[in-house]
Structures are given as structure tokens and as C-alpha cells.
A and B are shown apart, each in its own frame.
Chain A
Amino acid sequence: MKPLLSRRHFLRGLGVTVALPFLESVAPLRALGAAPKAKYGLTHDGKPLRMAFLYVPNGVNVAKWAPVGQGADYQLSETMAPLAGLKEHFQVLSGFEHRLGWAHGDGGGDHARANATILTGARPKKTAGSDIRLGVSVDQLAAQHVGEQTRFSSLELSCDGVRKSGACDSGYSCAYQFNVSWRSETAPISPESNPRLVFERLFGSGQGAERQKSFLLRQARQKSILDFVMEDARTLNRELGRNDQHKVEEYLTGVREIEQRIQKAERFGPLPDPKSEVPAGIPAEYQEHIRLMMDTLVLAFQTDSTRISSFMLAHDGSNRSFREIGVNDGHHNLSHHQNNPEVLAKIAQIDLFYSQQLAYFLQRLRDTKEGDRSLLDNSMVVYCSGLSDGDRHAHDNLPVILAGRGGGVLKPGSHVNVGDKTPMTNLYVRMLNIMGVKTDRFGDSTGVLAV
């Protein structure tokens, strides 16, 4: 274990400090080797605790989204109908705002800002490329603490594989619009969209014993390569300017993670067996695609391969059409509905489609047992959009569902009005606390949400 430690020193010696938020402590940089004493990512009785964020773009049909009444006796809205059988497992939270999603003098670009703020609560610096700057996202902050416990510190997923060429939203770099997870202020994490690749990354490729063998062989061979590339990075870094060094730091962070992965592999023993077929790839139908990703995510949680995930079903501003449900127009295009009832009806159809996918995910989690509880009981799943009314590009009254019991500390089953313009990040502070991350602030938070 010694070489690793010295390499870590080398990292520090270089003046390599990845930008981390204020509460960054020694936790993620703890020397590896002995399994760290777990204090993060656990339920009160010591079971793994998971956190997932599901993002849907372009807001919702607000009228059809809003549930009727409050508290435990509320009625699900039309859009939430697919969730009827799961009512006791989630709470609807109304009233959240992402204050920094509004323009604040930065002009247009609400889709980029919706996407950028959703998990960060930070203001994206308006730039088409140079000097992108946002903030670390809640999932990544949690992963920096919890990640140590699992093979993968987090999983970032999306169903958007292909990106539009040309400029993105109104002068914002596409980085803001295609990523929800940011590991630092300047480093977004591109999500993976191919279920096969996600699966193979988690569980190795090949079959049975061969899977384990090829995995170990590959890892063994990677070690000496990491030594070489570390040295190469060091040589290179000496000659570079500040911004360039920053990029090489990103590289080193990546290398360090692989080292940890190899370390962890030794610690965690054989690869988990997902007892499941490798997905063939990206399926034709959007719904199938989403569900394959969800299946893989459930497997990842179930095998405790990771406890943190973000899943951007589509990026904000996505103009995907939904032929499967008879909506041929583009989603973004429709979201500017001008209160046209026909168009609003189509948006509601899309919202319903997304609710069905959420229901599928929650059912899968609920039906997966973990001791005397379910995976869903030991999870916190946030389902949200960065806009409420897509037509007005409104960043308040966001549609948000929080599912799961968080190991028993959450009380699902009701509709809670959290109060107009409550920062969504207040919820994140609460979730972080539940994950064991001691902080009283995150992004633009003003307190801790009591849920």
C-alpha cells in the first residue's frame, strides 16, 4: 500500500488540489488500504443507503402535475396516476425553487440553467466554452464521502447519447446542458448512455469464471501502466501554465480513482454476479432504453456496487419526439405551449410517460428485498425537472418527488408544501446529512428541509 500513499503525497506536492467545496474534509483523501471505518452512506442500523436523482427535461404541464390537497390524505394528480400503487413510498414536495436558474442579468438560456442548477444550486458562468464554472453537484459531494464504501463511487447515466452540433442554449457551453453531475466547479461528468457499457463496467464482460479472470488480469496489467502515466503527467505538469495544469489535474484525479478501484477490487473480493444477461445495447424504444438503464441501476444498488447515481433521462431543451405514445412533435417545441389546450394535452402525455418510468423504477426497488426491508426503503430517490412551466421557463414551484424511506428517517406517503420559493438545495442538505455528510449548507441553500 505504500506506493499509493507516496503517490498521494506526490499529488499534493504538485500543488494539485481539485477544487472541492468548503466542507471538503480529509475523508475522500483518506489513505487507502485498510477498509475505512464506515460512517457514510449507511442507514441508522448499518445497511447501505442509496441516493438517486432522476431528471426529466422541459418542465411539466403544471395543472396536471399538481396533486390535490396536502398531507397524507392528498389525491394524486392525473400525471401521477401510474404511481398510485406506490403512494406510501414517496412524497410529493411542492414549492421548491432554483433561484440561480433565473437570469440574474445573464439573459436567455433557461434550459441550460435549469439543467445546470438542478443538482448544484450554483450559478453557471455564462460562457460558450472558456472558463466553464458551476459548482459541485449534490450526488458528487455525497460520492466524495460515501464512494469509498463501494466499487464505484457513483454512476452517471443518461439516455442522450448523441449531441446536437453547433452552439447550445443562448451562449452557454453545452457542458451545462448535457451534464447534471459535476465533480468540481469546472469538471462536469459526462453520463453514459449505452446500457451494455454500463453493465460491463459494473460487472465485467464475458461469462462466469472468465468474467472474473479477465477482470483481474486487466486490473493487474493496469497497475504498471498507472505508474508510468503518473510519472508522465508529473513531467508534463512541470512545464505547463495554470489552466493546463488544471486539465492534467483532472487526468490525475481519474488515474487516482482507477488506483482506488484496483485497491477496492482487492478489498471487495470477486466481482458481484448480477445473475443477469448483458444488455444488448441501446434499444429502439425510448421506454426500453430508460428501463434497461433503470434495471442496471437497480442491479448496481442491489449488489452494492455503488450507492450514488444521477440519471438524466434527457437533457433540458431536448426536442425528442415520442412516437411511441403518438406524440410526433418535439418535446421542447411543445413545452412552449402558450396555453394551447391541444399542446398542453400532449405535454401531459409526455409527463405521464415519464411518471410510468418512475413507477417502474420504484417498483423494481420496492420489489427487491434487503433483509426485512426493501431496496426502496433504504434509498432516497429524487425525481425532478429543472423547470415547472416550460412555457414561461419558470424555475420555481418545481415538480419534485422524493421516494424511499432513507433507511427509515423519511416519512413518505404525503404531499408536502415546503413553502414558496424554498431552495431545492435545502432538501439536498437534508439528504446529505442523512448520508452522513455533516454540513449545514449546500449551493444556495438557506437551511435544512425538515422532511
Chain B
Amino acid sequence: MSFFLPILILPRRSAFAILLASAMLPASGFAAAEKISDFKKDILPVLEDYCYDCHGEGTKKGGFALDGFPSQEAQLGDIEHWYTIWKNLQSQLMPPSDEAQPKVEERQRLLGWIEQAVFKLDPANPDPGRVTIRRLNRAEYENSIFDLLGVKFDADDAFPADDTGYGFDTIGDVLTISPLLMEKYIEAAQDIVNQAVAEAGPRIPTLYVGGDRLKVGEEKKKNARWLPFADPATATGAQRIEHPGRYKITVVMKAEGSKDATSHTAKVGLSVAGRAVESMKVGWEFRKEIKLVGETDLVKGDNVFALDVSPGDPPRGGEKQLNLNVTHLLLQGPLDGRHLEYPKQYFRVFPDGPPTEDATARSAYARKILRLLADRAFRRPVDESTLNRLVALAETTAKQPGMNFESGIGQALTAVLAAPRFLFRAETQPEPNNAGRIVAIDEFALASRLSYFLWSSLPDDELLKLAGEGKLRASLRAQVDRLLADPRSKRFVSNFVGQWLQTRDVEGINVDVTRFLGVKNDEAYRIFNPRLREAIRAETESLFSHLLADNRSALELLTADYTFLNEQLATFYGIPDVKGTEMRKVSLPAESPRRGGVLTHASTLIVTSNPTRTSPVKRGLFILENILGTPAPPAPPNVPELEETRKRGKNLTMREMMVVHRENALCASCHARMDPLGLALENFTPLGTFRDNERGKPIDTTGQLITGEKFSSVAELSQVLATSRRDDFFRCLTEKLLIFAIGRGLEYYDTVTVDQLAKKLHDDNGAMRSAIYAIVESAPFQKRRGDGPHVATSADNESLRSAVTTR
């Protein structure tokens, strides 16, 4: 018992306690039974005092009893059983707040005992677990292809949706490959290579002019990337030309604004230096790109291009309005071929330009090219025998009729892109089936973990170089900083936040807009259109980015007195004086703090609503799952979701209806946890707009957490979450980040890792960047073990651990 005495004076986090406790022990003595609290003497009495009323001696509330095992051995061996107890104790869900509570020390003792005696965990040497080989998900595939070859590939269009687990699409276990997907991977590889390795030889050069260079109007705030079909406009811009002559001009555009077909059309005309070149009618096109092609003469020096948009057929009832997005212009010429160039793209694959005629040199060149590509695609140096086979494939193909050096390389590159070592992120280790063998992942694997975590893509040259030199582990934080400073880290924010806070769903979710805005279809669309949805999504993601960039506290996700808006979103929220389309940081009015923190972001409010009304249950559940990390147990089977058990009384507010179904005792136990949280958000419609009454009655947003804290508004709720429940929030954020980063769900043996990470976050007051550092430095991110269930750590791993940490 004396061993546990220090715990009495420590805060509630068990791992911290154990860390200290175990530090006082010789490492090898850790698992010795006599050092751990005795079940009969120290543990059982606490359980009897606080739990047995409902879960013992014949009572089995919720179908759960603590006793009734055939033997103590059987009881202590049931890890699932104890994991349930651990989770309930840890989150203070049990005993219920209206029952007698164990003392802090008693709770700690139980948690610590479970972790050591039942889970057999060693906080000083956490089990890293094992990540199943991960297939690239659609986002990762798209980004990897782009970063490797500069080819934009639409994986969402080409591949079936990825399955998700634990709320994320990075989970190795559920990312399967069906024959259909395999077929599509091969097709995709062929398409991508066709784009990357266009026909050989010098070509008439093509100049790229971004659509944003064509400006609209006097103030030139708008540009050709956003031209509503309905508004006549002319976008103009000048481009310098070095080689005058006849040019082919291609205007590449998309009709945006509706995923579904509409009959809305417009006329688009191109003119150069005031001369009309070509025009066409544009409308909704499934094949995303629309091209307007014409020929004209360009002079040396500046040439002024003008795009003229005028309305055509209006959309029919219910159909959405379209707008034109001119992504770019391609100026190809002079067409007489007096001036030829190799395209830039060509050098991406063929770094030394076209091959020479000499056979030996060609072979060496093929080898060089394929090594460069395979190293990057496989994210580690390609082995010689694979390289030999790639070179052979290229050479065999090149010899076939109609083929050349370039098409040979193309064929080999196709094979690389279809190969398992590209499509899967494999991490190898000695003794892959020995669960007791823990190893540090090699530095190439680490480079991939970093880049897929923070860029959703393959490692760049610098990461691979450091890994090759064995210096990556030593410069981990610097690399995290570098990766986060790179624009590619936007992908992390949109993929992580997109799934954690479900901002991904904002763009597609079904809402009955006309009902909540009280306006007709067209007007509703003018207000709540894809641009607004985009801004709503960007608001939440911008806040996260901002905290990450400035290393601010994650608590500001809950309590920020500022937010990110553009004119359209600000108008939607009723916040004045924000002009223009750019999202920017805006301080919120102090006198009426209606907004602030993600709970008041339209993104959260929309994704937690039903199409026709708010859902306090979904909103409450969202907070429990994603902020507090204490999801409610699922509704009992065959009992309809509580929200629906209302009697359709006349003119009841949402709160009144919720009261009706909380009267049912069976339901009340869980709904007392979620409903008050959700009801605190009742001031916001399913669209996220503010309201102060519902059906003519004032809205009551007061409530209480199951842990006792009272609040009277969403602002107070956010404060409570960020103060007295902050450690729950830190733990929740940590868990979500860890799951996303390592690509597996968390198991009981991860409790010590999560404890440690959450404690770091606590000590740093939630600093976002510290959270990222802590994740990448954690055992599950740095190491892996053999396949199989957790085994108590061995002396062998002890020595390995010191070897790893002293690197």
C-alpha cells in the first residue's frame, strides 16, 4: 500500500500518478505482483461500496455486473470487462452524479490498478500497437499523384467512396481493395501516365494564363473564376507574348453551382484586342471541363483578352443557379512551328530532357528516371531487382511497334502507380507476427507517417533525404514546423477537421433552406448557395489553421471571441462591415456574444440538424463525442431514438418536446447527458442562423452537464467545456488526432499513451503545435510491434527502448 501513497496528493490523471510511481521502481520489478494493489484488499471494497448497488449481488443494471465470475482469475482476465469499467470511471460517468462518489484517491487507485494488474501496461514503455497496412484513401491518392507528377486527378469521381472507421478515412483495417477498385487503380494509372508523359518531342509551346488574371469591373475585385450565369459581365486581362503569330486559344472553364443537372445556360464570348474570336453557349456539364477554342493572331508585347458572359436560359423551378469558373486560358503558338519547346511537364518525368540516340546512354537514362520516380512513389529507395524489372519493362515496351523511349517509361511508370508499394503504405519489421517484439519504425516509414499525417501525401525530397541519412528522428520538430508551414498542410486541416467536426458534410448536406429563411427558392439559393457552404466550411477550418499556425490554445476552438468570415457569411450571420470574398479574422462584438467557438459555427449547427428541424439529440451527441470524448452508449435496441418518441402536441418548443420523452426513465439516463447540451444550441436554426424564439415562445438555453456544471447559454456552455471539462476536451482532441495520424482505433493498451499526451496538452495549456509534436513523438507514431494481442513488455523491449530513445 505504501507504494500508492503519493497518489493521494496528485491530480486525477492516473497515468501521471503511475508515471511517478513507476519511476520509483526498478524497471524490471514493475510487473511483480506484490507491488500492485491487492484486488481483495484494496479494490474489491471500493467496488462494493460504490458499484454493487446497481452492478453486483444480483442486480445487473444495464446488463452489467461486476461479480458472478466463476473465479477471480476469470474475472481479472476479462480485459473487455475491465476496459468498460475503466472508461466509465475515467470519464466520471460512473457512478452517476446523483450517487455517492468515490474519493479522488479511490478512483485513482482503481484506474491505476486496472491499468497495471489487468491491462498489464507499463507507462514507461507503452505498447505502440500495430497499424494495419494502409491503402491510400481517395484524398491521399489524389495528393500523392499531384505531388509526384503534377497531374490533377479527381479520385472522388473515379473511385468508389472509402469506408471509414472510428470517424476517419485513414483506418487501415477498413480501407479494403475490391476487384472493382483494383480495376480502377489500373485504369487511373494509365490515364495519369497519359497526362504526365504526353507524346514525346518538342512542341509548339503553350502559355498558361490563370482565370484570376482576367478581372471584372472598375474595381477589379472580381475575376473570371466566378462569373454568375445570370449577371452580364466582361472579364479582361493582358498577357505578354514573346513570339508573335497565329495562336490557338483554349478557354478552360467549369460550370459550377450544382452537382445536379440544370437547364441554366449562358453565352460566353472571347475576344482579343477587341476582335471577337469565338463564342459558345455553356450549361451544366457532367464532364467537368468546358473548352472554348478559337484561333487568332497575337502581337509581340501585351495582348488584351476579354471574356464576355451574358445570360441564356434561366434554371427551371427547383434547379440551382450556375456560375462560370474560368480556371485558365491556354495560348498555344505560334502555330506555324517556328518556335518549339519541350513542355515543362516533360521535365518532371524526363529531368535531362529528351534521350540521346546512344543505346547505353538511353538505358542508363531510363534507369535514372525510373529510380527517381520509384523512390518517390514507393517513399523509400527502390531495390535493385525491382528497378531492373522496371527498366526491362520500359525497354521491352519501347521496342514494340509505334512505341518509343517515352512510352516505355510511361508503361513502367504505370506499373509503379498500380503497384502495391505505391497504393499501400507498408511498414515492415522483423518478426512481424511476434506481438512481443516492439521496434522503432525505420526513418522512411516515419517520413511517410509524417507526410501523410500533415500533408495527406507522400514525403518530399527533404524528408526522404533526411530519412536516407538517418537524421529525421533527430530533427522531428523542425520537420513538423516545416510541414505545417507548407501550404500542403491545408490538406491536414481539411481532412482532419473535415471529419472530426464533420465540416466535410457541409457542402452536400440536405437542408430545407426555404423553410428556415422564409423565402422562395430563387432567393433562398441566392443566400444559401455553394459559395456560402464553402465559406461555412472554411470558417471552422480557418480557426483550426489559425490556432495551429500561431500555436494558440486548442481551447480557443471553444471560446474564441473572434471568427473567420467573408462578406457573404458575415451577412448571413448578421455581422456588419465585412467586405469581399476573402475569409479573414473578424473580432466578434463583445456586447452580444452570439457567436464564438465551433459550437456556434454554422458548420456544426448544420451537420447536427435534420433537414426540417434542429436536433438537440444530435447536437448533444456531437458535443459528447467530439468535444468531451464521452459518447453516450447507443440507444437500446428496438427503442426508437428518443427524439422521435414525442407526442405530437400542438405548438410545443423543442425543449418541451424533449421533456416529454425524458419522462421515460429508461431513456432519461442517457438523454440527461446529451439533451441539455443540444438544447443550449437551440438559439440556432438548422441553417445556423440566430433566432430568439421558437413558435413565438422565447428559447430557454439553460442546462446542466451530467458532471454537475450549470450553464445558461451556449457561451457559458463553451466556457464550462473549456474550463472545468478542459481535460476531457484535451483527451478527446488527443484521441482524435492520434486515430487520424496512426490509422487505427484506440485500444485499452493505448490508455497510457493517451494519458501522457493529454497531460502534455494540459501542461502546455492546450497549445496546438505542442499537441502535434506530442503525437508524432508518441510511441504509437514512432514504433510498431508484431501482430497479435498485447503482451506484457519484456526485458528485450526494455533494452530496445533505451536504444531507440538515445538515438
User: Do residues A340 and B648 form an inter-chain contact, with CB atoms below 8 A?
Assistant: yes
Measured CB to CB, the closest approach of chain A to B789, in angstroms, equals 11
Interchain nearest-CB distance for B94 vs A (Å): 17
Q: Which of A161, A226, A240, A284 is B133 in contact with, Cβ under 8 Å?
A: A240
User: Is A248 positioned at the interface, with any CB of B under 8 Å from its CB?
Assistant: yes
Please measure, in the bound complex, the distance between the C-alpha atom of A168 and the C-alpha atom of B166, giving whole angstroms: 8
Query: Pick the contact of B160 from A106, A192, A251, A328 — CB < 8 Å?
Result: A192
Say which residue of A164, A193, A201, A392 sits within 8 Å of B638 (CB atoms). Answer: A392
CA distance A134 to B192 in the complex (A): 35
Cα–Cα distance between A197 and B610 once the two chains are bound (Å) = 31
> Are A232 and B386 in contact, CB atoms less than 8 angstroms apart?
yes
Contact of A329 with B610 at beta-carbon distance under 8 Å, contacts A129-B166, A242-B433 already known: yes
Question: Is A397 an interface residue, CB under 8 A from the partner?
Answer: no
Tell me the complex Cα distance, A196–B787, Å: 42
Instruction: Give the interface segment out of A107-115, A296-304, A403-411, A416-424.
Output: A107-115
Bound complex: CA A187 to CA B631 (Å): 28
Which of A128, A161, A174, A224 is in CB contact (< 8 Å) with B745?
Answer: A128
- Give the distance in Å from the alpha carbon of A240 to the alpha carbon of B424 in the complex: 12
Given contacts A129-B745, A162-B161, A251-B420, contact A225 B186 (CB under 8 A): yes
B102 interface residue (CB < 8 Å to A): no
Chain B residues near A109 (CB-CB < 8 A): 634, 637
Determine the distance from Cα of A242 to Cα of B132 in the docked complex, in whole angstroms: 9
Chain A, residues 316-333, CB within 8 Å of chain B (1/0): the string is 000111010000111001
Question: A240-B432, A247-B177, A285-B260 known; A232 and B421 CB under 8 Å?
Answer: yes
A129-B171 in contact (CB<8A): yes
Q: Which residues of B contact A235 (CB under 8 A)?
A: 383, 385-386
Question: With the chains together, A102 CA to B426 CA distance in Å?
Answer: 38
- Find residues 605-640 in chain B having any chain A CB closer than 8 Å to their own CB: 610-612, 625-626, 631, 633-638, 640
Please tell me which stretch of A30-38, A275-283, A375-383 contacts chain B, meaning at least 4 of its Cβ atoms lie within 8 angstroms of it. A275-283
Give chain A nearest CB distance to B141 CB in angstroms: 14
Q: How far is the CA of A130 from the CA of B499 in the complex (A)?
A: 18
Instruction: Decide if A130 touches B611 in the complex (CB within 8 Å).
Output: no
Contact status of A244 and B158, CB under 8 A, knowing A129-B165, A261-B183, A321-B611: no
- B470-478, B507-515, B712-720 - interface stretch: B507-515
B172 adjacent to A247 (CB under 8 Å)? yes
Instruction: Tell which of B411-419, B552-560, B589-597 binds the partner.
Output: B411-419
Q: A residues within 8 A CB of B187?
A: 218
Alpha-carbon distance A187/B163, docked complex (angstroms): 11
Q: Which B residues are in CB contact (< 8 Å) with A261?
A: 183
A239 within 8 A of B: yes
Q: How far is the CA of A258 from the CA of B179 in the complex (A)?
A: 8
A132 CB contacts on chain B under 8 angstroms? 165, 173-174
Q: With the chains together, A190 CA to B169 CA distance in Å?
A: 14
Contact yes or no, A284 B186, CB < 8 A:
no
Contact check: which of A194, A229, A241 meets B420 at CB < 8 Å?
A229
Q: Is the CB of A321 within 8 A of B638?
A: no
**Does B797 have its Cβ within 8 Å of any Cβ on chain A?**
no
Bound complex: CA A110 to CA B419 (Å): 39
CB distance from B127 to the nearest CB of A (A): 15
Interface footprint category on B: 35 or more
Report the bound CA distance from A285 to B183 in whole Å.
29
Contact with B along A125-142 (1 / 0, CB 8 A): 001111110000000000
**Given known contacts A258-B186, A329-B611, A225 and B418 CB-to-CB distance under 8 angstroms:** yes
* A residues 86-113 in Cβ contact with B at 8 Å: 102-103, 105-110
- Known A103-B638, A254-B177, A330-B610: A128·B172 in contact at CB below 8 Å: no
Contact partner, A107, options B178, B636, B747, Cβ 8 Å:
B636
Docked-complex contact B130 and A251, CB < 8 angstroms: no
> Which of B161, B178, B180 contacts A161 (CB under 8 A)?
B161
Assembly CA distance A284 to B316 (angstroms):
12
- B258, CB-defined interface residue at 8 Å: yes
Distance to closest chain B CB from A265 (angstroms): 13
For the complex formed, measure the closest distance between the CB of A291 and the CB atoms of chain B, giving whole angstroms.
14
Report the bound CA distance from A129 to B167 in whole Å.
Answer: 9
Complex-state Cα separation, A166 to B624, whole angstroms: 13
Contact B186 A222 (CB under 8 A): yes
CA distance A236 to B319 in the complex (A): 51
Chain B: which residue is nearest A129 at the CB level? B165
Contact assessment for B183 and A282 in the assembled complex, using a CB-CB cutoff below 8 Å: no
Which range holds the interface residue count of chain A?
A: 35 or more
B389 within 8 A of A: yes
Q: Is A216 an interface residue (CB 8 A)?
A: no
The chain B residue sitting closest to A392, CB to CB, is B638
Question: In the bound complex, do residue B420 and residue A248 qualify as a contact, i.e. CB atoms below 8 Å apart?
Answer: yes
B512 touches A244 (CB 8 A): no
**Contact in complex: B610, A333 (CB < 8 Å):** yes
CB distance from A235 to the nearest CB of B (A): 7
Q: Which residues of A contact B162 (CB under 8 A)?
A: 190
A110 touches B130 (CB 8 A): no
The reply to whether A102 and B637 form a contact with Cβ atoms under 8 Å apart is yes
CB distance from B262 to the nearest CB of A (A): 7
B177→A188 contact, CB < 8 A? no
A257 within 8 A of B: yes
| Complex contact B640–A338 (CB within 8 A) | yes
Closest A residue by C-beta to B416 = A228
B251-275 toward A: CB 8 Å interface, digit per residue (1/0)?
Answer: 0000000111110000000000000
Q: How far is the CB of A143 from chain B (nearest CB, A)?
A: 10
Q: Are B261 and A280 closer than 8 Å at their CB atoms? A: yes
> A12 near B: Cβ within 8 Å?
no
* Chain A residues within 8 Å of B794, by CB: none
Q: How far is the CA of A208 from the CA of B580 in the complex (A)?
A: 50
Task: State A237–B6 Cα separation when bound (angstroms).
Answer: 49
A108-B635, A228-B415, A248-B133 are contacts. A257–B641 as well, Cβ < 8 Å?
A: no
Which residues of chain A come closer than 8 Å to B652, judged between CB atoms? none
B135 within 8 A of A: yes
Whether A251 and B634, one on each chain, are in contact in the complex, defined by CB atoms closer than 8 angstroms, is: no
> Is B59 in the interface zone, CB < 8 Å from A?
no
Assembled-state Cα–Cα distance A411/B133 (Å)? 49
**B176 with A188: CB separation less than 8 A:** yes
CA distance A201 to B498 in the complex (A): 31
Q: Mark B127-142, 1 if CB is under 8 A from A, else 0.
A: 0001011010000000
Q: Of B189, B287, B419, B610, which one neighbours A232 at CB under 8 angstroms?
A: B419
Given contacts A156-B180, A254-B183, A257-B183, contact A173 B165 (CB under 8 A): yes
CA distance A167 to B179 in the complex (A): 26
* Distance in angstroms between the alpha carbons of A111 and B166 in the assembled complex: 17
Is A255 close to B, CB under 8 A?
yes
The listed residue (A192, A193, A251) touching B177 by CB distance below 8 A is A251
B515 nearest CB neighbor, chain A only? A328
CB < 8 Å neighbour of B432 from A105, A169, A192, A239:
A239
- In the complex, are the beta carbons of B130 and A241 less than 8 A apart? yes
A233 at the interface (CB under 8 A from B): yes
Contacts of A233 in B (CB 8 A): 419-420
Task: Looking at the assembled complex, report how far the CB atom of B122 sits from the nearest CB atom of chain A, in whole angstroms.
Answer: 22
Question: Taking the complex as formed, is A178 at the interface, i.e. its CB lies under 8 A from any CB of chain B?
Answer: yes
User: In the bound complex, what is the Cα–Cα distance between A35 and B415 (angstroms)?
Assistant: 29
Measuring CB to CB, which residues of chain B are less than 8 angstroms from any residue of chain A?
63, 130, 132-133, 135, 157-158, 160-167, 169, 171-174, 176-183, 185-187, 189-190, 258-262, 286-287, 318-319, 383, 385-386, 389-390, 393, 396-397, 411, 414-415, 418-421, 423-424, 426, 428-429, 432-433, 498-499, 502, 504-505, 508, 510, 512, 515, 610-612, 625-626, 631, 633-638, 640-641, 643-648, 744-745, 747, 786-787
| 5 cross-chain pairs, A with B, having the tightest CB-CB distances, nearest first | A129-B165, A254-B182, A108-B634, A284-B260, A281-B286
Starting from the known contacts A107-B637, A174-B165, 4 additional A-B residue pairs (CB-CB under 8 Å) come to A108-B637, A175-B174, A189-B180, A254-B180
Interface set of A (CB-CB < 8 Å, partner B): 102-103, 105-110, 127-132, 156, 161-171, 173-175, 178-179, 183, 186-194, 196-197, 201, 218, 221-222, 224-226, 228-229, 231-233, 235-236, 239-244, 247-248, 250-251, 253-255, 257-258, 261, 280-285, 319-321, 323, 328-330, 333, 336-338, 340, 342, 391-394
